[in-house]
Structure 1
C-alpha cells in the first residue's frame, strides 16, 4: 500500500497521479504499485511539484513496516536504529531548487542570453494598449461598464493614459462599490455617456493591439456595448495575457490578477480600479515580452 499527500501542486501533476493512484480525498492518493513505478512517480513529483509539498508513505521491511519521504521544508526524515522518524525542524530548510544539473544551467543561460538579446528590440518595436474595465457585475448582457482604464505605448516608447468614468442606468451592488470605490453619485457627476466613452476609447486605441488580463471578460462587455449602441466593433488584435502567464509560470496557486502581479513582483497601486489595473497589466505585458513569452 502506498499513500501520497499533495498540497498546492499544479493540477497537471494531480491529474498525472490519478493514472496510477486513486484520489480518495482532495490531495490524498492511495495505490499499490511496484517499487520501480513508485520511485519513478516520486521522481516525477519532485520534477513537477512547483511550489507545493508532497509526502509519501509506503510498505517497507523495517520494524515499523513502513517508510516515508517528504518535501516539507519544516520536516526531515531521519533513521533511528533502522526506524524512520519524522523530525520537526526548528528552522525550515531553504527551498530545494530542482533542475540544477549542468544541462539545466546551460539551458537557462542560453534562454537568458536570448532574452537579453531580444529585450531592447522587442520593447522598442512593441506598440500596444493595456486595457481594463470595471463593471457592475459579471454578466456582460445584463451588467454595465462603469469605468475604462488604458495605457498606450507608441513606437517611440511614449506612454499615454486613458481614464474615463461612465454613467450607468442601474444601481451599483454594494459589494461592487466596496470593491471598486465607485458610487452611482460619482458616476453621475464625473462620468460621460457610454457612447462617448467608447468613441474616446476607439480614438485612443487607434490601430494598436489591445492586451488585457482575462481580456475575454472585458471584450464581451465592449462587444455588447458597441452592439447596444449600434456602433462597429473594435477590429484590433486582442491578446489575453492569462494563458501566456499559465504557460510561463505553471506552478502558481491560482491565476487571479493580484496573485500573478505578486509573483512577478509588480505593484498595483490601487487594485480593482480600471487605470491602476491597466498600468499593472501594462508592466506585466512588458515583463512577458522581456521573457520572450509575449510577442506583439
Structure 2
C-alpha cells in the first residue's frame, strides 16, 4: 500500500548506468569488455571500513588497455595510519583525492555494463556496494568473475598452489609482483592472471560468454 511514496528519484549518473546495464552483453567472450579492478581499503569489513583507492583496467580479446586505466584515490575523514604501509599508498600528496560520491560516479562511468573481474571479487563488490548504500543507491548490476574461482575451474587440481592468494597465482604463472598492495598494481597483476586463465579456458571450452560466467562458487576474501 502507498508504494509510490517509496519511489526514489535517482541522480542522472545512476540513471545512465542503469540504462546501459539493460543492454545485452555480447555472445562471445572475445567480443566482451571486462573490467579488472581492485580496491584498497581501511580494513575487511564493508559495513564499517572505507575504500582508500580503486584501480581498474579494460581487457578485451586478451589485451589489457593500459592507456584506458582508472586510478582513484579517495578522501578519508579518519585515515588509519597502519593502512598505508600495508596498502603501499603513496604519500606524495600530489594525487587528486575524490569524495566517495565523485569516485563512485567515475567508477560507474568507467565500468558501464562490462563484466567485472577481481581476485576474490565478492569483497571488492561488497566494498563498492557499501559505498553505493551510503549514497542511497542500489547495488552494482554488472556480471562478475572471480579469478580465484576461475583458476579452480581451469587449472587441474593436482597443479594448484598451496593456496589461491594473488601472490601464489602470480608466481604460478611467472608474473612479477610489481606495485603489490596498491589498487592499480593489484588490478594489473589480476588482469595478467585473468588473461592466462581466459586463454586456457577458450582453448578447451566454448567461447560463449554465458558458459564462461557459469559455475561460480563462493570464494573467501583474502
TM-score where L is the length of structure 1: 0.53
Shift of 1:231: 2.2
2:41 maps to 1:135:
yes
Partner of residue 255 from structure 1, selected from 161, 164, 188: 164
2:83 maps to 1:180:
no
2:74 maps to 166
2:216 maps to 1:295:
no
Shift of 1:125: 2.3
Q: 1:137 to 1:285 in 2, by over 3 A?
A: same
Whole-Å Cα distance in 2 between the matches of residues 268 and 183 of structure 1? 17
1:267 maps to 176
Whole-Å Cα distance in 1 between the matches of residues 107 and 180 of structure 2? 21
Q: Which runs of 5+ in 1 are unaligned?
A: 1-121
2:146 maps to 240
Can you list the C-alpha shifts for 1:116-165, whole angstroms capped at 9, x where unaligned?
xxxxxx77423200010000111111110000000013579571200010
Equivalences for residues 81-230 of structure 1 within 5 A:
124-154=30-60, 159=65, 160-174=68-82, 176-182=83-89, 186=93, 190-230=96-136
Q: 1:180 to 1:295 in 2, by over 3 A?
A: same
Can you list the C-alpha shifts for 1:155-176, whole angstroms capped at 9, x where unaligned?
79571200010111212141x2
Shift of 1:190: 2.7
Are the equivalent residues in 2 in contact too, given 1:166–1:192 (CA < 8 A)? Answer: yes
**Rg larger for:** 1
Task: Indicate the structure with greater strand content.
Answer: 1
1:285 maps to 194
Shift of 1:198: 0.7
Q: Which runs of 5+ in 2 are unaligned?
A: 1-27, 203-210, 214-222
Are the equivalent residues in 2 in contact too, given 1:148–1:165 (CA < 8 A)? Answer: yes
Q: 1:141 to 1:173 in 2, by over 3 A?
A: farther
Which structure is richer in relative contact order (CA contacts within 8 A, separation 6 or more)? Answer: 2
Whole-Å Cα distance in 1 between the matches of residues 107 and 54 of structure 2? 8
- Runs of 4+ in structure 1 deviating by more than 6 angstroms, as ranges, are none
Whole-Å Cα distance in 2 between the matches of residues 123 and 269 of structure 1? 28
Shift of 1:243: 1.5
Quote the RMSD (CA, aligned, Å). 2.5
TM-score where L is the length of structure 2: 0.70
Whole-Å Cα distance in 2 between the matches of residues 252 and 203 of structure 1? 36
